[in-house]
């Protein structure tokens, strides 16, 4: 079977081995690449949390505030999960304060912020998919939960975007 650059075979019970797009950083398949992505993701989840706090503050309705609050709470959960995963994989805690000084660029409008959040959630899913494929099976449920949350968030942001367009 021939695989294109940027793709790695993955096993599907329905289709056998199929090429799956991989993050370039994950192509090496090394645990160091996985740990690097997990470390950056810890900071990214914190940045998302701060960004969503801002969106909550400018959301036009209570319903929209509650939806974004639930997404923010998931981002906090993801950060905890990623920190625990890092510890389990390495036997040591991630650097103290990782992501604590993260900042975000304030969007020009609420709608622009929703669009930015939607695209961020989709990109996060792609990044986590690469980590998922490179992890030992025992850790995959952690990434599966985070990935499905990211897709749920993308759907919520799509709904918020359509509602406010």
Residue range 84-100: mean pLDDT, rounded? 84
d(C-alpha 56, C-alpha 36), whole Å: 30
Enumerate residues 6+ apart whose C-beta is below 8 A from 78.
Answer: 41, 45, 146, 149
**pLDDT value of residue 84:** 94
What does the pLDDT look like over 9-62, one tens digit per residue? Answer: 444 444 444 444 444 444 445 788 899 999 999 988 888 988 999 999 999 999
- Is the whole model's pTM more than 0.85, yes or no? no
């Amino acid at each position: 079977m021939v695989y294109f650059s940027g793709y790695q075979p993955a096993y599907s019970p329905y289709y056998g081995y199929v090429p799956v797009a991989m993050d370039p950083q994950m192509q090496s398949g090394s645990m160091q690449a996985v740990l690097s992505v997990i470390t950056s993701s810890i900071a990214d989840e914190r940045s998302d949390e701060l960004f969503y706090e801002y969106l909550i503050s400018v959301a036009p309705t209570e319903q929209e505030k509650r939806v974004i609050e639930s997404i923010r709470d998931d981002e906090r959960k993801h950060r905890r999960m990623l920190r625990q995963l890092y510890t389990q994989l390495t036997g040591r805690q991630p650097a103290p304060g990782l992501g604590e000084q993260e900042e975000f660029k304030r969007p020009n409008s609420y709608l622009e912020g929703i669009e930015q959040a939607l695209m961020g959630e989709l990109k996060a899913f792609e990044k986590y998919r690469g980590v998922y494929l490179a992890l030992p099976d025992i850790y995959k449920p952690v990434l599966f939960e985070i990935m499905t949350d990211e897709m749920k968030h993308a759907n919520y942001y799509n709904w918020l975007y359509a509602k406010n367009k």
